[in-house]
Amino acid sequence: MTRFALSRFFTGMCLLATVGFASATSTTSHTLCKGFLPENDLQIPIGTFSTGGITEEQFNQVLDRLERIFSGDVSRLGDILRVRRYWSDGTVNASAMRSGKTEIINMYGGLARHPTITVEGFALVACHELGHHQGGAPKSGGGWFGNAWATNEGGSDYYASLKCLRRFFAEDDNAAIIANAEISPVAEAACRAQFADVNEQLLCLRTSMAGQSVANLFFAMKKETTPPNYGTPDRSEVPQTNDDHPATQCRLDTMLSGMLCARPISDEVSNVDYRQGSCFTPHDVVGNRPRCWFAPN
């Protein structure tokens, strides 16, 4: 299978495939439905002129750090983390899959080269894909497709800002990074009100930059007319949890909720109880998963 065909396989509809055999025992690969973005045909090859996006060096630096920080967590669960780097592939997406006990995330150069993507945004995408493996409940279901292992889309967005990016950005001089950055005044006010500790405030502000980057990506890819903004939350409420991609504003709201949840990073999430390690109603005033995709059970 060519690299292009492989990328279409990963980002297409949910498939179940046998990828190899070890003695008489088959190893089954379960690919998550769609990807970080809904299936699309946009290609951004190497060398495409763009005023945004990140470099190959930054692409690898983000993924190097993700592997270094989280491989141990995955190993303690008896699994192996594998980050597949397709820098030369123009696909504008990312995806997650399992193969036996190997947790795989697939990261594409086309996504990294998109004009809306920053280092912060790319890190959030990588954290989202890790979140399908590590994000806990709610799960995406499963059935015949074999995806009961996967945290659903909204849950993976929530995990990215609740747990993953806090550890990822903790290694940086966040005060210097955000000094000249454009920060949403709504996000800034919320971060400063929620956290008394300056470092927690800075992590929250840096994460807000990541959320805006990927929300701008959704806006551009879907050719929407109303830009996503931290100050215009989605007020809709679903009657039951939506496992698919939430609407653009709803996804940005989810990232804001995750970064405002004051649960310690060390509080682990659960695969069966969505409340564990996270914020939930009626216990918390802020930081709950938004009702625009999540319905508490």
* Residue linked to tokens 């989605």: 234
- Strands 80-86 vs 102-108: parallel, antiparallel or unpaired: parallel
Per-residue pLDDT of the chain (297 residues; tens, 9 = 90+): 334 344 333 333 333 332 222 333 334 555 554 689 988 999 999 998 888 999 999 999 999 999 999 999 999 999 999 999 999 999 999 999 999 999 999 999 999 999 999 999 999 999 999 999 999 999 986 544 456 899 999 999 999 999 999 999 999 999 999 999 999 999 999 999 999 999 999 999 999 999 999 999 999 999 999 999 999 999 999 999 999 999 999 999 999 999 999 999 999 999 999 999 999 988 899 999 999 999 997
Give the C-alpha separation, 28 to 237, whole Å: 37
DSSP 145: G
Q: Which residue in 146, 162, 150, 161 sits closest to 103, CA to CA?
A: 150
Give the C-alpha separation, 278 to 154, whole Å: 14
Tokens standing for 67? 């592997």
Tokens standing for 123? 């890190």
3-state secondary structure of 244: coil
pLDDT for 30 equals 55
Give the C-alpha separation, 244 to 236, whole Å: 16
pLDDT for 95 equals 96
Tokens standing for 209? 């930059």
Domain ranges in the chain? Answer: 32-260
pLDDT for 148 equals 85
pLDDT for 3 equals 41
Tell me how crowded residue 170 is: count the other CB atoms within 10 A of its CB.
Answer: 14
What pLDDT digit, counting tens, does each position of 98-141 carry? 999 999 999 999 999 999 999 999 999 999 999 999 999 999 86
Q: How many CA atoms lie within 13 A of 20 on its CB side?
A: 4
- Strands 94-99 vs 102-108: parallel, antiparallel or unpaired: antiparallel
pLDDT for 34 equals 64
Report which residue type is found at 57.
Answer: E
Give the C-alpha separation, 46 to 88, whole Å: 6
How far, CA to CA in Å, does 180 sit from each of 112, 124, 176? 22, 20, 8
Give the C-alpha separation, 108 to 225, whole Å: 27
pTM over 0.85: yes
